[in-house]
Protein backbone atom coordinates (compact mmCIF):
# COMPACT_ATOMS: atom_id res chain seq x y z
CA UNK A 1 0.00 0.00 0.00
CA UNK A 2 1.55 3.31 -1.08
CA UNK A 3 1.21 6.73 0.54
CA UNK A 4 -1.64 7.85 -1.74
CA UNK A 5 -3.71 4.75 -0.92
CA UNK A 6 -3.13 5.29 2.78
CA UNK A 7 -4.07 8.96 2.35
CA UNK A 8 -7.35 7.98 0.66
CA UNK A 9 -8.12 5.40 3.35
CA UNK A 10 -7.44 7.81 6.23
CA UNK A 11 -8.83 10.95 4.58
CA UNK A 12 -11.69 10.96 7.08
CA UNK A 13 -9.13 11.08 9.91
CA UNK A 14 -6.56 13.84 9.20
CA UNK A 15 -4.88 13.29 12.57
CA UNK A 16 -4.19 9.62 11.79
CA UNK A 17 -2.85 10.56 8.38
CA UNK A 18 -0.49 13.18 9.88
CA UNK A 19 0.85 10.55 12.28
CA UNK A 20 1.40 8.06 9.46
CA UNK A 21 3.05 10.72 7.28
CA UNK A 22 5.41 11.53 10.16
CA UNK A 23 6.32 7.83 10.47
CA UNK A 24 6.93 7.60 6.69
CA UNK A 25 9.33 10.58 6.89
CA UNK A 26 11.28 8.97 9.73
CA UNK A 27 11.60 5.71 7.77
CA UNK A 28 12.66 7.59 4.63
CA UNK A 29 15.30 9.58 6.52
CA UNK A 30 16.70 6.40 8.04
CA UNK A 31 16.96 4.89 4.56
CA UNK A 32 18.82 7.98 3.33
CA UNK A 33 21.18 7.79 6.31
CA UNK A 34 21.81 4.09 5.68
CA UNK A 35 22.69 4.77 2.03
CA UNK A 36 25.28 7.44 2.91
CA UNK A 37 28.78 6.63 4.11
CA UNK A 38 28.68 9.82 6.15
CA UNK A 39 26.46 11.54 8.70
CA UNK A 40 26.16 15.22 9.60
CA UNK A 41 25.52 16.34 13.17
CA UNK A 42 25.18 19.79 14.67
CA UNK A 43 25.93 21.56 17.91
CA UNK A 44 23.17 23.57 19.58
CA UNK A 45 24.02 27.08 18.35
CA UNK A 46 24.98 26.21 14.77
CA UNK A 47 21.95 24.07 13.98
CA UNK A 48 20.49 26.77 11.69
CA UNK A 49 23.52 26.40 9.38
CA UNK A 50 23.78 22.60 9.67
CA UNK A 51 20.16 22.27 8.53
CA UNK A 52 20.94 24.34 5.42
CA UNK A 53 24.05 22.24 4.75
CA UNK A 54 22.02 19.02 4.98
CA UNK A 55 19.33 20.48 2.71
CA UNK A 56 22.02 21.24 0.13
CA UNK A 57 23.50 17.73 0.49
CA UNK A 58 20.06 16.13 0.33
CA UNK A 59 20.56 14.19 3.54
CA UNK A 60 18.90 14.34 6.96
CA UNK A 61 20.57 16.00 9.94
CA UNK A 62 21.79 13.37 12.39
CA UNK A 63 20.03 12.80 15.68
CA UNK A 64 22.17 14.21 18.50
CA UNK A 65 20.83 15.01 21.96
CA UNK A 66 22.41 17.51 24.34
CA UNK A 67 21.32 16.97 27.94
CA UNK A 68 21.72 20.00 30.20
CA UNK A 69 22.02 19.74 33.97
CA UNK A 70 20.92 22.27 36.57
CA UNK A 71 24.51 23.24 37.49
CA UNK A 72 25.32 24.22 33.89
CA UNK A 73 27.07 21.03 32.81
CA UNK A 74 25.86 19.16 29.75
CA UNK A 75 26.37 15.82 28.02
CA UNK A 76 25.94 14.74 24.40
CA UNK A 77 24.73 11.44 22.97
CA UNK A 78 24.21 10.11 19.45
CA UNK A 79 20.74 8.61 19.12
CA UNK A 80 21.65 6.52 16.08
CA UNK A 81 24.54 4.22 15.20
CA UNK A 82 27.62 5.92 13.78
CA UNK A 83 29.88 2.84 13.85
CA UNK A 84 32.16 2.79 10.82
CA UNK A 85 30.75 6.04 9.41
CA UNK A 86 32.42 9.36 8.59
CA UNK A 87 30.83 11.96 10.89
CA UNK A 88 30.86 15.69 10.15
CA UNK A 89 30.30 17.77 13.29
CA UNK A 90 29.12 21.30 12.51
CA UNK A 91 29.78 23.83 15.27
CA UNK A 92 31.20 27.36 15.29
CA UNK A 93 33.25 28.05 18.41
CA UNK A 94 32.32 31.65 19.10
CA UNK A 95 32.11 32.64 22.81
CA UNK A 96 30.89 31.67 25.25
CA UNK A 97 33.13 28.64 25.71
CA UNK A 98 30.11 26.27 25.91
CA UNK A 99 30.17 26.07 22.10
CA UNK A 100 33.75 24.80 22.13
CA UNK A 101 33.10 22.44 25.03
CA UNK A 102 30.03 21.02 23.31
CA UNK A 103 32.08 20.33 20.18
CA UNK A 104 34.79 18.60 22.24
CA UNK A 105 32.16 16.35 23.85
CA UNK A 106 30.68 15.59 20.42
CA UNK A 107 34.12 14.54 19.17
CA UNK A 108 34.78 12.40 22.24
CA UNK A 109 31.39 10.69 22.01
CA UNK A 110 31.91 9.98 18.29
CA UNK A 111 35.33 8.45 18.97
CA UNK A 112 33.90 6.22 21.72
CA UNK A 113 31.03 5.22 19.39
CA UNK A 114 33.54 3.83 16.81
CA UNK A 115 33.08 6.44 14.08
CA UNK A 116 35.46 5.78 11.18
CA UNK A 117 36.56 9.40 10.68
CA UNK A 118 35.65 12.47 12.73
CA UNK A 119 35.63 15.74 10.79
CA UNK A 120 35.09 18.99 12.69
CA UNK A 121 33.29 21.59 10.56
CA UNK A 122 33.95 24.94 12.25
CA UNK A 123 32.66 27.81 10.08
CA UNK A 124 33.95 30.36 12.61
CA UNK A 125 37.08 29.30 14.49
CA UNK A 126 36.88 31.18 17.80
CA UNK A 127 39.92 32.36 19.79
CA UNK A 128 41.82 32.76 16.51
CA UNK A 129 42.93 36.31 17.30
CA UNK A 130 45.22 34.84 19.97
CA UNK A 131 47.60 33.38 17.39
CA UNK A 132 50.97 34.61 18.73
CA UNK A 133 52.68 36.23 21.69
CA UNK A 134 52.32 39.96 21.06
CA UNK A 135 53.72 40.78 24.50
CA UNK A 136 55.36 38.82 27.34
CA UNK A 137 53.43 36.34 29.51
CA UNK A 138 50.31 35.90 27.35
CA UNK A 139 48.53 32.77 26.17
CA UNK A 140 48.27 31.60 22.57
CA UNK A 141 44.60 30.65 22.60
CA UNK A 142 44.41 29.45 18.98
CA UNK A 143 47.16 26.86 19.60
CA UNK A 144 45.46 25.70 22.79
CA UNK A 145 42.13 25.20 20.98
CA UNK A 146 43.94 23.30 18.20
CA UNK A 147 45.54 21.03 20.79
CA UNK A 148 42.18 20.44 22.49
CA UNK A 149 40.53 19.44 19.22
CA UNK A 150 43.42 17.14 18.34
CA UNK A 151 43.44 15.52 21.80
CA UNK A 152 39.66 15.00 21.57
CA UNK A 153 40.22 13.03 18.38
CA UNK A 154 39.46 14.89 15.13
CA UNK A 155 40.81 13.44 11.88
CA UNK A 156 40.22 16.55 9.76
CA UNK A 157 39.17 20.19 10.13
CA UNK A 158 37.03 22.20 7.73
CA UNK A 159 36.93 25.91 8.56
CA UNK A 160 36.61 29.29 6.88
CA UNK A 161 38.71 32.46 6.87
CA UNK A 162 40.95 31.92 9.86
CA UNK A 163 42.11 35.20 11.39
CA UNK A 164 45.66 34.15 10.52
CA UNK A 165 46.49 31.53 7.86
CA UNK A 166 49.34 30.12 9.94
CA UNK A 167 46.84 28.69 12.45
CA UNK A 168 46.54 25.78 9.99
CA UNK A 169 50.04 24.81 11.12
CA UNK A 170 48.84 24.37 14.70
CA UNK A 171 47.14 21.13 13.60
CA UNK A 172 48.72 17.78 12.74
CA UNK A 173 45.64 16.70 10.75
CA UNK A 174 44.47 17.93 7.31
CA UNK A 175 42.87 21.39 7.35
CA UNK A 176 40.51 22.45 4.55
CA UNK A 177 40.58 26.24 4.71
CA UNK A 178 37.66 27.80 2.83
CA UNK A 179 37.22 31.45 1.87
CA UNK A 180 34.10 33.59 2.16
CA UNK A 181 35.16 35.35 -1.03
CA UNK A 182 33.29 32.54 -2.79
CA UNK A 183 29.99 34.14 -1.77
CA UNK A 184 31.04 37.76 -1.11
CA UNK A 185 32.66 38.48 -4.49
CA UNK A 186 29.65 37.38 -6.60
CA UNK A 187 27.46 39.61 -4.43
CA UNK A 188 29.74 42.62 -4.94
CA UNK A 189 29.78 41.97 -8.68
CA UNK A 190 25.98 41.89 -8.73
CA UNK A 191 25.90 45.50 -7.46
CA UNK A 192 27.57 46.74 -10.70
CA UNK A 193 29.31 49.60 -8.88
CA UNK A 194 31.14 52.18 -10.98
CA UNK A 195 34.40 53.83 -9.83
CA UNK A 196 34.95 50.98 -7.38
CA UNK A 197 37.74 50.98 -4.80
CA UNK A 198 38.53 48.19 -2.31
CA UNK A 199 39.84 49.26 1.09
CA UNK A 200 41.49 47.48 3.99
CA UNK A 201 40.66 48.86 7.47
CA UNK A 202 44.23 48.13 8.63
CA UNK A 203 47.61 47.15 7.22
CA UNK A 204 47.24 43.58 8.52
CA UNK A 205 44.27 42.96 6.21
CA UNK A 206 45.96 44.35 3.10
CA UNK A 207 46.61 40.90 1.58
CA UNK A 208 42.92 39.96 1.78
CA UNK A 209 41.80 43.32 0.37
CA UNK A 210 44.38 43.13 -2.42
CA UNK A 211 42.97 39.74 -3.46
CA UNK A 212 39.49 41.28 -3.72
CA UNK A 213 40.84 44.30 -5.64
CA UNK A 214 42.66 42.11 -8.18
CA UNK A 215 39.58 39.95 -8.77
CA UNK A 216 37.31 42.99 -9.20
CA UNK A 217 39.93 44.87 -11.25
CA UNK A 218 39.97 48.03 -9.15
CA UNK A 219 42.44 50.08 -7.04
CA UNK A 220 43.35 49.34 -3.42
CA UNK A 221 43.22 51.81 -0.51
CA UNK A 222 44.71 51.21 2.95
CA UNK A 223 43.87 52.57 6.37
CA UNK A 224 46.63 52.98 8.93
CA UNK A 225 45.25 52.76 12.47
CA UNK A 226 46.68 53.09 15.95
CA UNK A 227 44.94 51.35 18.86
CA UNK A 228 44.74 52.91 22.31
CA UNK A 229 43.80 49.48 23.72
CA UNK A 230 41.86 46.38 22.64
CA UNK A 231 38.68 47.31 20.67
CA UNK A 232 39.52 51.05 20.85
CA UNK A 233 40.97 52.91 17.82
CA UNK A 234 43.01 55.99 18.72
CA UNK A 235 43.71 57.40 15.25
CA UNK A 236 43.35 56.45 11.57
CA UNK A 237 44.70 57.78 8.26
CA UNK A 238 43.73 56.87 4.67
CA UNK A 239 46.49 55.89 2.23
CA UNK A 240 45.07 56.36 -1.27
CA UNK A 241 42.36 58.35 -3.10
CA UNK A 242 38.66 57.75 -2.35
CA UNK A 243 37.23 61.03 -3.67
CA UNK A 244 34.23 60.30 -5.90
CA UNK A 245 34.66 56.54 -5.47
CA UNK A 246 32.36 53.73 -4.33
CA UNK A 247 34.38 52.13 -1.56
CA UNK A 248 34.11 48.55 -0.29
CA UNK A 249 35.92 47.91 2.99
CA UNK A 250 37.01 44.26 3.33
CA UNK A 251 37.81 42.49 6.61
CA UNK A 252 37.74 38.97 8.06
CA UNK A 253 35.48 39.80 11.02
CA UNK A 254 33.71 42.70 12.68
CA UNK A 255 33.60 42.66 16.48
CA UNK A 256 32.70 45.98 18.09
CA UNK A 257 32.69 47.72 14.66
CA UNK A 258 34.87 50.55 15.95
CA UNK A 259 37.51 50.21 13.23
CA UNK A 260 35.23 49.68 10.25
CA UNK A 261 32.76 52.45 11.14
CA UNK A 262 35.57 54.94 11.80
CA UNK A 263 37.10 54.03 8.44
CA UNK A 264 33.73 54.54 6.72
CA UNK A 265 33.19 57.93 8.36
CA UNK A 266 36.70 59.14 7.42
CA UNK A 267 36.31 57.96 3.82
CA UNK A 268 32.93 59.60 3.47
CA UNK A 269 34.40 62.84 4.82
CA UNK A 270 37.21 62.49 2.26
CA UNK A 271 34.68 62.59 -0.57
CA UNK A 272 33.75 58.95 -1.14
CA UNK A 273 30.52 58.55 -3.12
CA UNK A 274 29.44 55.57 -1.01
CA UNK A 275 31.00 53.26 1.56
CA UNK A 276 29.93 49.68 2.22
CA UNK A 277 31.71 46.84 3.98
CA UNK A 278 31.92 43.08 3.79
CA UNK A 279 33.42 40.63 6.25
CA UNK A 280 33.44 36.87 6.71
CA UNK A 281 32.34 36.63 10.33
CA UNK A 282 29.52 38.58 12.00
CA UNK A 283 30.80 38.77 15.59
CA UNK A 284 29.04 42.13 16.14
CA UNK A 285 29.36 42.33 19.92
CA UNK A 286 28.59 45.14 22.35
CA UNK A 287 27.78 48.46 20.64
CA UNK A 288 28.50 47.15 17.13
CA UNK A 289 24.94 47.23 15.76
CA UNK A 290 24.34 50.77 16.99
CA UNK A 291 27.67 51.95 15.60
CA UNK A 292 26.94 50.45 12.18
CA UNK A 293 23.45 51.94 12.11
CA UNK A 294 24.76 55.43 12.96
CA UNK A 295 27.78 55.29 10.64
CA UNK A 296 28.32 56.37 7.04
CA UNK A 297 28.12 52.74 5.90
CA UNK A 298 25.37 52.02 3.39
CA UNK A 299 25.41 48.32 4.24
CA UNK A 300 27.65 45.69 5.78
CA UNK A 301 27.58 42.17 4.37
CA UNK A 302 28.54 39.04 6.29
CA UNK A 303 28.25 35.29 5.91
CA UNK A 304 26.08 33.27 8.29
CA UNK A 305 29.04 31.54 9.99
CA UNK A 306 27.80 33.10 13.26
CA UNK A 307 24.11 33.69 14.07
CA UNK A 308 23.13 37.36 14.21
CA UNK A 309 20.08 38.12 16.32
CA UNK A 310 20.25 41.91 16.72
CA UNK A 311 18.21 44.15 14.49
CA UNK A 312 20.15 46.47 12.20
CA UNK A 313 18.79 47.47 8.82
CA UNK A 314 22.29 47.84 7.36
CA UNK A 315 23.38 44.26 8.15
CA UNK A 316 22.97 41.60 5.47
CA UNK A 317 24.00 37.93 5.74
CA UNK A 318 24.80 35.56 2.85
CA UNK A 319 24.73 31.83 3.45
CA UNK A 320 27.83 29.66 3.10
CA UNK A 321 25.81 26.44 3.48
CA UNK A 322 26.19 25.42 -0.17
CA UNK A 323 29.95 26.00 -0.03
CA UNK A 324 30.34 23.82 3.07
CA UNK A 325 28.01 21.19 1.61
CA UNK A 326 30.08 21.02 -1.57
CA UNK A 327 33.27 20.73 0.51
CA UNK A 328 31.79 17.85 2.53
CA UNK A 329 30.77 16.12 -0.71
CA UNK A 330 34.30 16.52 -2.09
CA UNK A 331 35.90 15.20 1.11
CA UNK A 332 33.64 12.14 1.01
CA UNK A 333 34.46 11.54 -2.68
CA UNK A 334 38.20 12.35 -2.30
CA UNK A 335 37.98 15.26 -4.75
CA UNK A 336 39.97 18.50 -4.85
CA UNK A 337 38.87 21.21 -2.41
CA UNK A 338 40.92 24.09 -3.80
CA UNK A 339 39.38 23.85 -7.28
CA UNK A 340 36.19 25.49 -5.94
CA UNK A 341 38.03 28.66 -4.79
CA UNK A 342 37.31 31.85 -6.74
CA UNK A 343 40.60 33.49 -5.70
Residues 6+ apart with CB under 8 A from 169: none
* Cα angle 286-290-294, degrees, rounded to a multiple of 5: 145
Active-site annotation holder among 135, 214, 225, 262: 225
Residues 323 and 98: their CA atoms lie apart, in Å, by 26
Angle (CA) 109-114-118 rounded to 5° is 65
Task: Tell me whether residue 7 is one of the annotated catalytic residues.
Answer: no
Written as one string, the DSSP assignment of 201-218 is SSGGGHHHHHHHHHHHT-
Whether 223 contacts 254, CB under 8 Å: no
Which ranges of the chain would DSSP assign to H, the alpha helix?
A: 3-9, 14-35, 47-57, 98-112, 141-152, 181-190, 206-216, 258-269, 288-293, 321-332
φ, ψ for residue 114 (rounded to 5)?
70, 35
* Residue 197 to residue 272: CA distance in whole angstroms: 10
Provide the 3-class DSSP secondary structure of residue 2.
coil
Q: Give catalytic residues, as residue numbers.
A: 225
Amino acid sequence: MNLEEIKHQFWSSPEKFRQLHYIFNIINNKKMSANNSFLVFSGTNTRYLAEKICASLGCPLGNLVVTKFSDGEFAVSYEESIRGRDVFLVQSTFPNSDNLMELLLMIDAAKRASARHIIAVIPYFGWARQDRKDKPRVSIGAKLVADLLSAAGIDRLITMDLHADQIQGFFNVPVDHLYASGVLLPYLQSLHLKDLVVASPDVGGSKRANTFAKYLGCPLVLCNKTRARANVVESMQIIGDVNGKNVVVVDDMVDTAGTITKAADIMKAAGAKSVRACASHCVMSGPASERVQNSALEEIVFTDSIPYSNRCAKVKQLSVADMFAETIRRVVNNESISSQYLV
